[in-house]
């Protein structure tokens, strides 16, 4: 059965969110420009992560633990909890599948808002159990770009990062971040906002809160050629700028909540 996709259209554009993974799949600004990358023929298969849009990674970022890569919720059904003229709210809680791998009672509530400020996605992590838990995670945003090698990400210059594409070596970024090959960088305690200059006279401001880190990822030509779920040359069409808490796990006390968000504002 194809999971439902919910679409919201207002004066500021159109956004679509799938119940599969609670994943934002498309965001068009009022000028009709698609701002998120998804492959032309996305592979929708139960249990398989859907590439593109904004996957929600929880309770584990990437391979930083013993759970499946990027955690559990990107391959599970979420449900629409509410919608307004400017927001779609989706939620997921623990079930037998999640408890078998991660024995905690949780509820995630994702609020996707389309307004004059652009697109904002807020994630509320609730601990419904009687003991504290800790998680890592991210809003793994795939930004659509006209040509990634023409782009520059400003705001991270002078910052130290962990280079996951080079044995997790720690390095320092000189100048703007540019992409000519594989990039997989974790900036701990990253500043906000960043500015993505598309290289065509337009830009996107990327702000975040709650999430401590920013991860910038592009597979580059070699990795992309090995992917079965996107065309080999599409590494040029995407750049992931992810609001993440990847380095230091977030602790949520019993009955407590944590909130993190990312906001994308066209300039
Ligand atoms: O291919 P996926 O499982 O969706 O992961 C895609 C990417 O996510 C993050 O950005 C990680 O830093 C990368 O190392 C990883 O390759």
pLDDT tens profile 98-121: 999 999 999 999 999 999 999 999
Q: Whole-model pTM?
A: 0.97
Closest CA to 164 of 194, 198, 195, 188: 188
**Which pLDDT does position 247 carry in this prediction?**
98
Nearest residue (by CA) to ligand 1, atom 5, is: 62
Task: Report d(CA 11, CA 4) in Å as an integer.
Answer: 23
Domain residue extents for the chain: 5-266
Q: Cα(216) to centroid of ligand 1, in Å?
A: 10
Average confidence (pLDDT) over 182-209? 98
Place of tokens 């609020």: 111
Q: Is 140 a catalytic residue?
A: yes
Query: Which residue among the candidates 19, 70, 104, 140 is catalytic per the annotation?
Result: 140
Banded pLDDT at 89 (limits 50, 70, 90): very high
**Which pLDDT does position 22 carry in this prediction?**
98
Average confidence (pLDDT) over 84-98? 98
Task: Report d(CA 150, CA 135) in Å as an integer.
Answer: 35
Q: Cα(239) to centroid of ligand 1, in Å?
A: 12
Res 42 pLDDT > 90? no
Ligand 1 pocket (Cβ < 6 Å) reads 49, 62, 69-70, 140, 164, 184, 215, 217, 240, 242
Res 192 pLDDT > 80? yes
Banded pLDDT at 1 (limits 50, 70, 90): low
Q: Report the 3 state secondary structure along 160-175.
A: EEEECCCCCEEEECCC
Q: Is 182 a catalytic residue?
A: no
- For residue 253, the tally of other CB atoms under 10 A from its CB is 12
Nearest residue (by CA) to ligand 1, atom 10, is: 217
5-266: in CATH 2.70.98.10: yes
pLDDT tens profile 153-181: 999 999 999 999 999 999 999 999 999 99
Q: With contact defined as beta carbons under 8 Å apart, do 171 and 163 qualify? A: yes
Nearest atom in ligand 1 to the alpha carbon of residue 69 is 3
- ipTM for the predicted complex: 0.97
CA angle 4, 57, 141 (to 5 degrees): 75
β-strand partners of 43? none
- Structure token pair of residue 135: 């998680």
């Amino acid at each position: 059965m194809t999971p439902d996709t919910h679409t919201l259209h207002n004066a500021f554009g159109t956004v679509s969110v799938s119940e599969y993974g609670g994943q934002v799949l498309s965001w068009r600004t009022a000028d009709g420009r698609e701002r998120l990358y998804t492959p032309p023929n996305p592979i929708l298969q139960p249990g398989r992560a859907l590439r593109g849009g904004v996957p929600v990674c929880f309770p584990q970022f990437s391979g930083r633990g013993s759970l499946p890569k990027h955690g559990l919720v990107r391959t599970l059904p979420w449900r629409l909890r509410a919608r307004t003229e400017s927001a779609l709210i989706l939620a997921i809680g623990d079930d037998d599948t999640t408890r078998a791998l991660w024995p905690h009672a949780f509820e995630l509530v994702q609020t996707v808002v389309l307004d004059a400020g652009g697109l904002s996605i807020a994630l509320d992590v609730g601990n419904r159990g009687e003991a504290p838990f800790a998680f890592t995670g991210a809003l793994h945003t795939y930004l659509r770009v006209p040509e990634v090698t023409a782009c520059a990400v400003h705001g991270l210059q002078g910052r130290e990062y962990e280079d996951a594409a080079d044995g997790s070596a720690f390095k320092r970024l000189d100048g703007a971040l540019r992409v000519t090959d594989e990039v997989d960088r974790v900036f701990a305690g990253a500043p906000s906002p960043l500015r993505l200059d598309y290289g065509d006279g337009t830009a996107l401001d990327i702000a975040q809160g709650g999430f401590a880190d920013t991860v910038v990822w592009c597979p580059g030509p070699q990795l992309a050629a090995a992917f079965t779920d996107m065309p080999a040359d599409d590494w040029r069409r995407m750049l992931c700028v992810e609001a993440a808490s990847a380095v230091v796990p977030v602790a949520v006390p019993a009955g407590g909540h944590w909130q993190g968000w990312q906001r994308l504002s066209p300039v």
